A and B are shown apart, each in its own frame.
Chain A
Amino acid sequence: MRNSPCYATLLDMWMRAVCWVAVLGVAPLWGAPAPSPSDWVPARWQWNDAKSLELLADNPINCLLLKNYSAELVSAAAARGLVTLAVVTPGSDALAVTRKALAAKLTGVVLEGDFPADIAAAIREAAGSAPVIELTSRSHMKLGSGAAIIGTYQGVWPGVVVQQAGHAKSGPTGSVWIDTNTGFIRAVRAWGDTPLWLANEPPAHTVITSQRYLQVIADAQASGARWVISLDSDLAAKLAKRDADAIRDWQRIGQLTAHFERHPEWRHMNEYGKLALVQDPAKGGLLSGGILDMIAVKHTPVRPIPREHLTAQSLQGATMAVNVDAEALTPEQKEILRNFTRGGGMLMTGPPGWKDPTPKGEKITLDPPELERLNDIWKDVNSMVGRRNLGVRLFNVSSMLSNVLVSADGKSEVVHLVNYSDYPVENVTLHYLGDYKHATLITPEGVEKVLEVYRADEGWGVDVDKVSVCATIRLEL
């Protein structure tokens, strides 16, 4: 029995359970079973009273980030099986704040900001087995560290960039430009499957409609991350009063979050596309508005490959590749790309002298000159791709971004669509490669509808009647 797969699985499960109990050693164990970190659905909780937890009825949020908390709230949260994390920011009292939180029986702490290494180490030591989640600047994220969760407090606020007089701005790609964190998320997730949190807050002095909240959630989730739900003070105050409109908005936020949380398998699927992008995720990949976002605006399915993970196998299935920073490659990596072209693949490299820009401090987007240079690369990519179907071609999606994922066994794909306009988009068409004969539309509104599949150029096609904020098309053999 010891050598049987069944025994190995049971042992593995038991070990995981033991570790998990250890991790939550300081957490009350008398409530509902606590979720594991990969299942934590986080929100900044702006209320101090236990009654506020009523808002979590039918809502998948199960992890509260608390700047202020009362014993009553912590106790009630624990009784509901919720994870509570104290938010600790850099400062002289960070260690004291941590100790106080753990004494108050919070589950753990979130270090938000870039802490000096010695302070962070002292906090981790003080926390013992309690979880310590680090939300750093993008450039300080510990990619590939094996942390239970990695995250950042930096992010752009997603949406169509609007120019004067209400007209959408054409970005460097010539299409409508959409501010998004998806390129960053995808670059980071190409490094590993660690749960990723984006904890940027709503922009100040701005009216945030419910639609914008839905967009920021979908922007992160469609690429496999979670946005730490964070409400502006106006909406939080209205919710505290149980204002009917605010409750409706809150329910929509819950509904959309649940759409993704109902399908944890999506988060573990692989990026799909016959175009591969070789890029250092610790450099340009950490910036928003970079080459991944530029390609995304054109809805070309692209598979980011961290330079460090570049192997012949990682390029399998790709017919085109873009090597952003040619000079950064080792001789072995250059040979891999040479072999790729010898095997019939098309390769495009960045212009001579081009260095992939690196994020610094609070800078998470490209400077205009960098954007200009990158735009040249993008034009070449666009020209190389042309009308080719590199996995999926989407039509009538100018206000949307998409992400194409494939299961490990290749038996199913999902295509996430996120609409950043204020209006639902009608009549979206999807042409895809691969012999997927079954297509299902899944929406946050609870629709699960079988779509008619028809022959299209180079493959198959399906039509989607309407996309509100987000929709997912599941393709199966």
Chain B
Amino acid sequence: MTRREWLAMIGAAPLVRAAGTPDAPAAPVSIARCATYDEDITAKLGTMFDQLGGLEKLVRNKTVTIKLNMTGAPSNRVRGLAPALTHYTHPKLVGAAAYHFGRAGAKRIRFVESPWAWAGPLEEVMLDSGWNPRTIASAASGVEFGNTNVRGAYKTYARFTVPGQAYMYPAYDLNRAFEETDVFVSMAKLKNHDTCGVTLSLKNCFGNLPASVYGDDSGVNEPNEKPNSGRLAVGHNGRRQPSKSAPQELHFGQNHDPGYRVPHIVADLAAARPIHLQIIDGVESIAGGEGPWVSNVRVVKPGVLIAGLNPVCTDAVATAVMGYNPRALRGSAPFKKCDNTLVLAEGHGVGTTDLKRIEVRGATIQQVLYRYDS
């Protein structure tokens, strides 16, 4: 397919799209070229935030919580490369974001992640990934780090109810850091995903789920605060329920297809815990999967940063940048064996996948197009 043909297809998307929500909100998305992490990422990110209307009105005097993407154990690497060059968000981007949030007046900047099979401090996972949390913390005042895989210092979990008709669970129990926040940011990587086709700002938030409650070794009745597993049994396969302390699956036992389950859970989460700002790291990444455990992943260098104010819109643009139709149905790339998370989130009214309704600022999709399937 030529670039022209691809753009024509994107334009004709309504003909092939899944049933969407015509009045789902739209928000602008900013794109910047960034060939390497040695470029001035702080300046580029500043320009992108300006293109989105400025950070100050969003974060001044607010608590900002940023969900990072640090999927899998830091020791698990693609060809021995640093995780930030393949499947983790890059620490330079993290530091740059901290700087801008601080400069825009955020009172508390909290980076969170639920690291695989880990209940200890997030800083140690960062160190094991080659990040320097001291450097990140020095980028602004009020920087904190939190492991949301467990309850942590809190006494209880926070419950987030899915507005309207939930797909999978009526509500989700998450670490209270997700509640103690005014502005929630998803900082994702521009990647394919073995189960969900793409993993961007929406899918990144599957990691909001604490393994203590939703892990393979979570307690039957109460959370296991020392989880040592992922979320396959509960999330991907539906072989067991989460701890009974949390809301249970609505139609338990009816569907064990990860390609159905994970996109629906992610869409639920996007509705239950709104994502106010999305930052997607597509400078260097991998294609073919989300991490080194997926066969045949390959290193790619799209050289792009994407940011937006609506996760569905941002992910729709990012999916298009990857060379895919963001409204493709199950069976079409990149959603060959799964449902389309973006369309499901659109169905919850989170945002529109219609590229014609999304204003792209900075570089255009065409200018930064990087086909992940080629």
Mark A residues whose CB is within 8 Å of B: 160, 164-168, 170, 174-176, 387, 395-399, 421-423, 425-429, 454, 463
* B79 near A170: Cβ-Cβ < 8 Å: no
Which B residues touch A160, using CB under 8 A?
80
Q: Closest 3 interchain pairs by CB?
A: A398-B75, A421-B80, A395-B127
Q: How far is the CA of A170 from the CA of B293 in the complex (A)?
A: 10
CB pair A398 B124 closer than 8 Å: no
Are the C-beta atoms of A170 and B76 separated by less than 8 Å? yes
Task: Report the contact-size class of chain B (Cβ under 8 Å from the partner).
Answer: 20 to 34
Question: Which of B25-33, B129-137, B324-332, B354-362 contacts its partner?
Answer: B129-137
Whether the Cβ atoms of A429 and B132 lie closer than 8 Å is yes
A165/B130 contact (C-beta < 8 A), A176-B75, A387-B120 known: no
Taking A176-B75, A399-B80, A454-B134 as given, write out 5 further A-B residue pairs in contact, using a Cβ cutoff of 8 Å, ordered by the A residue number: A167-B293, A170-B76, A387-B120, A421-B80, A423-B79
Q: Shortest distance in angstroms between A376's beta carbon and chain B's nearest beta carbon?
A: 15
B363 contacts partner chain A, Cβ-Cβ < 8 Å: no
Closest chain A CB from B292 CB (angstroms): 6
Find out whether the CB atom of A422 lies under 8 angstroms from the CB atom of B80: yes
- Tell me, rounded to whole Å, the shortest Cβ–Cβ distance linking A384 to chain B: 14
Instruction: List chain B positions with a Cβ less than 8 A from chain A.
Output: 73-82, 120, 124, 127-132, 134, 292-293, 295-296
* Chain B interface helix/strand/loop/mixed: loop
Q: State the CA gap A90–B278 with chains docked (Å).
A: 70
> Total A-B residue pairs with C-beta atoms closer than 8 Å?
56
A425 surroundings in chain B (CB, below 8 A): 82, 130
Contact of A427 among B73, B80, B130 (CB under 8 A): B130
How far is B130's CA from A3's CA once the two chains are assembled, in angstroms? Answer: 58
Known: A176-B75, A176-B76, A429-B127. A167 touches B292 (CB 8 A): yes
Flag if A395 contacts B128 (CB, 8 Å).
yes
Question: If A168-B80, A387-B124, A422-B80 touch, does A175 touch B75 (CB 8 Å cutoff)?
Answer: yes
- Pull 9 A–B residue pairs with CB atoms less than 8 Å apart, ordered by A: A167-B78, A167-B292, A176-B77, A395-B124, A397-B128, A398-B74, A422-B80, A423-B79, A423-B81
Q: With A426-B130, A427-B131 as given contacts, are A396 and B74 in contact (CB-CB < 8 Å)?
A: yes
Chain B residues near A175 (CB-CB < 8 A): 75
User: Nearest Cβ distance between residue B284 and chain A, in whole angstroms?
Assistant: 14
Closest chain-A Cβ to B238's Cβ sits at a distance in Å of: 26
CA distance A110 to B293 in the complex (A): 46
Residue from A164, A165, A398 within 8 A of B77 (CB atoms): A398
The answer to whether A427 and B292 touch across the interface, beta carbons within 8 angstroms, is: no
A-chain residues with CB within 8 Å of residue B76 when the two chains form the complex: 168, 170, 176, 398
- Specify which of A166, A426, A428 lies most central, judged by the most chain B CB atoms within 10 Å of its CB: A166
Nearest residue, chain B, Cβ from A160: B80
